[in-house]
Chain A
């Protein structure tokens, strides 16, 4: 009995002391700083649950090998000829498909008590979501590097050199970050992660397959060509092919930047509106 009393009294004294310890309250952190802190949280989660990296390591290998060998002979006469055409596209396909997990993870994460604390902090409101997306950018980078290395092994040779390749990945990361705001919106809207997954697949499959990733749209029927022509994924693939080959058209890049801005401007505020109302 005595020891219990002593221990709790110790706690009281220690807590009283620790309350007096902090000096002046630090200045309010910037939006960028809090977003980075949440990005750090995402990386810590990868450290503790490394299985999270399964999708960004296995998908790229599976997609690249499967499609190169599946279509290579039939579409381009040989796999080495096809990989030259396919690789920029499969890079986009892989990373864009992986963005789906952003919504899944967030939908699960936001149900946890810790989001109550995040939402009660005096910080820039979107920073938990921006931070999660920044953490995902690291995952997308890993996937991109794996696809590129595998492509180089399979015979892909980018004429645009290192600058072209780095710029390609930069553009892809920017596009994925912007596109992810659609998934964050669905993560707020849907009640289960299965529902989020269903909607994401429903959007992503037509976007990636009805594009110029696998074949030249010239052989497609007119209505499909029309869709492929306006599909943002096609514009992204065209730009990345151009960057990798050193022949990029500024007009294509401008359209991609336009799509990126559009995604963020439309789905960012929609997400935040839902986030603020989430109970």
Chain B
């Protein structure tokens, strides 16, 4: 079944070293054609380095990589003609206006002057930038830059697009807009490789996710599979009277036979659940013991919890 699936990207043992730092350290990826593939990892995990190698911007120090069937080392030009890159830092000319940026790139893709102008106007309108088209990009907001950057990547519809942390630093509304754009790209048949350090972004957009840390893939699968690897779900309980929390924790431990985590919230308890049937028994048991609860909810574990269980440390550690 796997062999029937055509791969958009395949890497084996990809390596990139900068001095003594192994930025990418034996990365194996198999990205299926179509949909969004998420590469999830904290800052410094090697996401950007990997994407730059796949986009033919950095030579490989080891391993092999093919993008849409073309070897990045021996056929870089074929890769460049099929893939668009939107870098982590907007890949735009700050001194030029939005419209001039699109015109320049349109010309570089081979459009005539008139056709490049038409395409530039279509894109500016579609991305809600028609009014800003004649302003220099250095005066754009973060969200506007991102939209122009993505617009620049689809002047010629690419078979594949690399989005390197497309929503880092954006406000929630701009982030939602970028998400909508990504979904529209996928619906149009483009394969998207997306790197992100936001777990909810991968959860929202990606069909499959590779979690990478220290330049290696530490887990791979659908977001659902990743969550399932941690346990089938998480039970969240809040007691009405915080004095009853120790008793509740002890009782739950007996019934569920899993470790119970006492959260920072003095009324809250969480537990990873492997056997949902036991949960059904937990609520009557609490009731019998006279412990009142305000919340008793069974949910899927978040990707945060997945990351924690895979690496033994929370993702926030890197942000601080």
Contacts and interface: CB of A to CB of B under 8 A. Distances in A.
Contact of B80 (A8, A17, A112, A122): A122
B105 A117 contact: yes
Given A120-B55, A121-B108, A17 B126 contact: yes
Contact of A116 (B87, B112, B179, B190): B87
A114 B92 contact: yes
Interface string B128-153: 10000000100000000000000010
Interface string B62-93: 00000000000000010011011101011111
Given A26-B110, A34-B108, A48-B136, A19 B95 contact: no
A276 B108 CA distance: 19
A12 B85 contact: no
A27 B188 CA distance: 22
A222 interface: no
Nearest to B81: A122
Interface in A2-56: 4, 7-9, 11-22, 25-29, 33-34, 37, 40-41, 44-45, 48-49
Given A17-B126, A28-B110, A121-B108, A9 B180 contact: yes
Contacts of A19: 154, 157, 184-185, 188, 190
B209 interface: no
Given A26-B115, A120-B57, A121-B80, A113 B87 contact: yes
B109 A49 contact: no
Given A19-B157, A28-B110, A114-B91, A120 B104 contact: no
B71 to A, nearest CB: 16
B255 to A, nearest CB: 41
A232 to B, nearest CB: 34
A116 B91 contact: yes
A11 B92 contact: no
B85 A22 contact: no
A277 B76 CA distance: 13
Contacts of A20: 188
A279 interface: yes
A37 B108 CA distance: 7
A11 B110 contact: no
A123 interface: yes
A216 B110 CA distance: 52
B253 interface: no
Contacts of B80: 120-122
A216 B93 CA distance: 48
A119 interface: yes
B198 interface: no
B126 to A, nearest CB: 4
- Taking residues whose C-beta sits less than 8 angstroms from the other chain, chain A's interface range is 35 or more
Interface in A95-140: 112-114, 116-123
Contacts of A45: 93, 95-96
Contact of B104 (A16, A17, A33, A41): A41
Nearest to A277: B59
Interface stretch (B117-125, B277-285, B299-307): B117-125
B262 interface: no
A40 B104 CA distance: 8
Given A18-B154, A19-B185, 9 more contacts: A11-B128, A12-B180, A12-B181, A15-B180, A18-B125, A33-B110, A114-B94, A117-B91, A120-B85
Contacts of B92: 113-114, 117
B89 A113 contact: yes
Interface in B6-53: 18, 52
Contacts of B105: 117, 121
B183 interface: yes
B297 to A, nearest CB: 24
B95 to A, nearest CB: 5
Contacts of B58: 279
14 contacts: A11-B180, A12-B183, A18-B123, A19-B188, A19-B190, A21-B119, A25-B157, A26-B156, A28-B110, A113-B91, A117-B91, A117-B152, A122-B81, A279-B18
A15 B57 contact: no
A21 B121 CA distance: 12
A120 B83 contact: yes
A114 B85 CA distance: 11
A272 to B, nearest CB: 13
A20 B156 CA distance: 10
Contacts of B181: 11-12, 15
B111 interface: yes
B243 interface: no
A11 B177 contact: yes
B184 A16 contact: yes
Interface string B168-194: 000001001101110111011010000
B306 to A, nearest CB: 28
B56 interface: yes
Contact of B126 (A14, A49, A113): A14
Contacts of A25: 109-110, 156-157
A279 B152 CA distance: 22
Contacts of B185: 15, 19
B122 A116 contact: no
